[in-house]
Structure 1
Amino acid sequence: MTNISAPAPVLTTTVAGSGPAIVLAHGASGGIAANFGSLIPVLAPQHTVIGSDYPADDTPLELDSLADALVAEAAAAGSEEFTIIGYSLGTAVAVRAAVRHPERVRGLVLTAGFVRADNRARANVELWQRLLAAGDRESFARVALLAGFSADFVNAIPSDQLPGMLEQMAAGVPGGTAAQAALVAAVDITADLPRVAVPTLVIGLSGDLLVDPAGAREQAAAIPGAEYLELPGGHVVMIEQPDRWHAAILEFLAQYPAAAAA
């Protein structure tokens, strides 16, 4: 039976494509466009892709109600069953949704995820909160660059392009980032993972400086029957390794078509 927590946060949802349903769960300081903008056109020709942005203010978030809200948005879009693709914080949202709504969730793809925030991740998101509270978006962008991308990627950026990239990152910090950062620090899905009973692909990133790939490996080890794949590069896989990330997701969906059956 579906469990419902209240009050549910208000999400902003977009739908693309048609076919078996895919629900997207984005990460902290991201959004559907930022995290999945390159993936949606890949999925939409054969799937209904449902993406819900978390609240754009700093109302406190709670994992149960956020997972419930994500499922409710999918149901409101007409999809009774679906696979969830979660990224970073979104992996915890996806796992909690699968445990709380087993009659709806038919598969999981979890990228750059964690079981609970380790010391480095907690220090990062606490620094995010302090910088945002001080209104220092320029420093936030620098922290996000250094933690979000691999060392090789950052060092390969032409020096004359780096200021513009930092300026763009500072201008693009979405509302609600501080609340999402607080949720990262609070998450613990240890007890959820053994209860996941659907086909699951876990993707870790070997050069991830924000979320240690050990967290993704721990997810995979604890979810019964989960597959694990580790890609090179840093946390922001959709920029560093988009083609390999897309290919892994498509291969999983082809291998387990029932996971995406509406």
Structure 2
Amino acid sequence: MTMSGSSTDSRPFLLLAHGAGGSTAANYGPVMDRLTSRYAVVGVDWPGAGGTPRATGPLDLDALADQLLLAADAAGARRFAVSGYSLGGAVALRLAARHPERVTSLVLTAPFARADTGLRLAARVWRGLAEAGEQDMLGRFLLAHALSPAALDAMTPQEVEAAVRETGTGAPAGTPEQVELVERLDVTADLARIGAPALVVSPADDSLVPPRLHRAVAAGIRGARLVEIPGGHLPFAEQPDRWATLLTGARE
């Protein structure tokens, strides 16, 4: 668990929900200094990521939301904003729908309420490569889908190969279970239940979770604001300053 504050802290609380195949450090590390300057931050690593033991069966979305809520309780956070990235967006939505009295605002980055056919197909390949331990091919698959064409074209061949190795070998042990949850979760019915102010951040060149899915989330939440930013699925890699500015501007 990541925690930068306590119940006596004067900063408002921000809960962090990371994406599949990531961790709190991997997804939020590049912007953590900016976040902690504004918020008392609480984050949880899903099973098989960070220091959390790997699950022995399929993951449950409600259980992940409960883990995040328990971490907030442990920090003494009665009310809090929630940042959900990719899979973490669905966790954040489920938490806000079940506990509206505790959530002050939502910032959802590259979210989806339900995987469409294209995302399910991509997730099945992702999961299969992770399960098979095909680190080189996993790295190539994720790099091709997670970075924007502009970011990829700006890299030298040597940089691409180094990124492939880092991406493939750095995948958490719990990636298969996390990606399997991506394939089957559905929080569509939760969207209309969200009463907290919501900001949806949509990377324009996201080919893993396409912008049409981000827009569908924004359209389903009453009063949600949609902001498009350049880049692919990894704003912390391509647009860290812009992303941090949006995250720290969440309304209370």
Verify same fold: TM over 0.5: yes
Task: Return the match for 1:127 from 115, 125, 128.
Answer: 125
Counterparts of 1:60-79 in structure 2 under 5 Å?
Answer: 60-79=58-77
With 50-59 and 232-241 compared, the bigger mean Cα shift is at: 50-59
- After TM superposition, the runs of 4+ consecutive aligned structure 1 residues lying more than 6 A away are none
SS state at 2:101 partner:
coil
Q: How far is 1:249 from its partner?
A: 2.0
Specify the code of the residue in structure 2 equivalent to 1:94: A
Q: How far is 1:21 from its partner?
A: 0.4
Give, in whole Å, the separation in 1 of the partners of 2:45 and 2:13.
17
Q: How far is 1:156 from its partner?
A: 1.1
Q: How far is 1:220 from its partner?
A: 0.8
Task: Return the match for 2:38 from 32, 35, 46.
Answer: 46
Q: Residue in 2 aligned with 1:15?
A: 3
Structure 1 residues without counterparts, runs of 5 or longer: 1-12
With 194-203 and 61-70 compared, the bigger mean Cα shift is at: 61-70
Give, in whole Å, the separation in 2 of the partners of 1:116 and 1:239.
25
Q: Would the aligned equivalents of 2:35 and 2:247 in 1 still touch at CA under 8 Å?
A: no
Give, in whole Å, the separation in 2 of the partners of 1:187 and 1:172.
25
Q: How far is 1:163 from its partner?
A: 1.5
Q: Residue in 2 aligned with 1:24?
A: 16
Give, in whole Å, the separation in 2 of the partners of 1:83 and 1:133.
34
1:231-262 CA distances to partner (integer Å, 9 max, x unpaired)?
A: 111001111111111112223x3xx2xx2xxx
Give, in whole Å, the separation in 1 of the partners of 2:231 and 2:104.
29
Q: Residue in 1 aligned with 2:87?
A: 89
Task: Return the match for 1:34 from 26, 39, 44.
Answer: 26
SS state at 1:107 partner:
strand
Q: How far is 1:219 from its partner?
A: 0.8
Q: Does 1:222 align with 2:220?
A: yes
CA RMSD of aligned residues (A): 1.1
SS state at 2:140 partner:
helix
Structure 2 residues without counterparts, runs of 5 or longer: 49-53
SS state at 2:186 partner:
coil
Specify the code of the residue in structure 1 equivalent to 2:3: V
Q: How far is 1:197 from its partner?
A: 0.3
TM-score (norm 1): 0.89
Give, in whole Å, the separation in 2 of the partners of 1:46 and 1:163.
37
Q: Would the aligned equivalents of 2:106 and 2:198 in 1 still touch at CA under 8 Å?
A: yes
TM-score (norm 2): 0.93
Q: Would the aligned equivalents of 2:38 and 2:248 in 1 still touch at CA under 8 Å?
A: no
